Structure 1
């Protein structure tokens, strides 16, 4: 039973929801890795273009 002062979600009531939460966490990690890679590639590309202009 949830209380008003509870900061987290309730415990899952079925194994399917537990698997869905695991999939969600995995998908977030993959999205974070892709975003980090794109940010690194764009920043390294911008640095090399500045050096070529000088």
Structure 2
């Protein structure tokens, strides 16, 4: 069994998304547990994920 590393930043999320081909909202919430306080950063994350063809579920 392999341990999955918990992402700590937007860049790590994007790297994980690129590797897996997708991200899930639960992973995003691990990095941004209070999304209402990080609207701009999350918006940038979604924009970059779209540019890199990373799906978000």
**Which is greater in Rg?**
1
**TM-score normalised by structure 1 residue count:** 0.33
**TM-score normalised by structure 2 residue count:** 0.32
Q: Greater relative contact order (Cα 8 A, min sep 6): structure 1 or 2?
A: 2
Greater helix percent: which structure? Answer: 1
Greater strand percent: which structure? Answer: 2
